[in-house]
Structure 1
């Protein structure tokens, strides 16, 4: 008897949601993971430095090195000492409910549980509508007016 005969084989393949909503959800989950790492380091009193692999020129040869890059936390402290949190998609905060984009966390100890709850909400698809609106808003901004070939003026 061969080793493969002792295994249970199926025709199932790994499925990844490649729809625009699935891609947006994965990007937001990755960003939330990074925010959770930063919040954990901040609570421990450590400095969080985000590092990314980049190709850099060293004495005429290119080497892949981890270099520090800018990191922007999504939380801030107001004058009263209360922690607030924005959920960003790209570089803009998501509007979670009409007219409301910030979450009041309270103390710094509540930040990690709040981020974990948001991560569960994103995985469950509760922020899909807000993400699709943010993507649509970005596409409207990036659209250029259609020009006519002869006059070079915007079409009316």
Structure 2
């Protein structure tokens, strides 16, 4: 008996093109995960500093090197003067409008912040923020045209 006889073999082809809507959802869900990790680390009194690979050119030799650098993450949340936490959702450099004229969520505690970030990720994956993401994406694209 061969090893392949134990496995279920199928004919398959990897999809090369992902629809723009799914790509945007995935991108925003990943950023929400980063915010969730960042907020969890802050709550636990730790520092969240993810690493990324960066290509740099050595000025002395002119040689290209790959180094590991700390990735910069901006907080999406802040505490106002009354002690409430406000959370805005960002797509790139643009803040998403969650409802007509509303761009932030008011929260009472850090635990509520974590729960809200999980809920937001579920909403993004379900497609509830597709219109807001599309508007922000269009604004971002408009900034790159000459």
TM-score higher than 0.5:
yes
Q: CA deviation at 1:8?
A: 1.3
With 6-15 and 41-50 compared, the bigger mean Cα shift is at: 6-15
Which residue matches 1:148?
A: none
Question: Partners in 1 of 2:71 and 2:120 — Cα distance?
Answer: 25
Question: Partners in 1 of 2:64 and 2:138 — Cα distance?
Answer: 39
> Aligned pair count?
144
Which residue matches 1:11?
A: 11
Question: Partners in 2 of 1:16 and 1:120 — Cα distance?
Answer: 25
Pair member with larger Rg:
1
Q: Work out whether 1:126 is the aligned partner of 2:135.
A: no
* Structure 2: gaps of 5 or more residues: none
Q: CA deviation at 1:23?
A: 1.0
Which residue matches 1:104?
A: 106
Question: Partners in 1 of 2:3 and 2:71 — Cα distance?
Answer: 48
Equivalence map 1:135-146=2 (5 Å): 135-144=137-146
Q: Could you report, residue by residue, the CA deviation over 1:131-150 in whole angstroms, capped at 9, with x for unpaired residues?
A: 11111223344444xxxxxx
Question: Partners in 1 of 2:136 and 2:23 — Cα distance?
Answer: 14
Equivalence map 1:10-49=2 (5 Å): 10-13=10-13, 18-49=18-49
SS of residue matched to 1:98: coil
Question: Partners in 2 of 1:55 and 1:99 — Cα distance?
Answer: 41
TM-score, with length taken from structure 2: 0.86
TM-score, with length taken from structure 1: 0.81
Question: Partners in 2 of 1:58 and 1:45 — Cα distance?
Answer: 38
Q: Work out which of the residue numbers 79, 82, 85 in structure 2 matches 1:83.
A: 85
With 64-73 and 116-125 compared, the bigger mean Cα shift is at: 64-73
With 54-63 and 117-126 compared, the bigger mean Cα shift is at: 54-63
SS of residue matched to 1:8: coil
* Structure 1: gaps of 5 or more residues: 145-156
Q: CA deviation at 1:101?
A: 0.8
Which residue matches 2:74?
A: 72
Which residue matches 2:50?
A: 50
**Cα RMSD for the two superposed structures:** 2.2
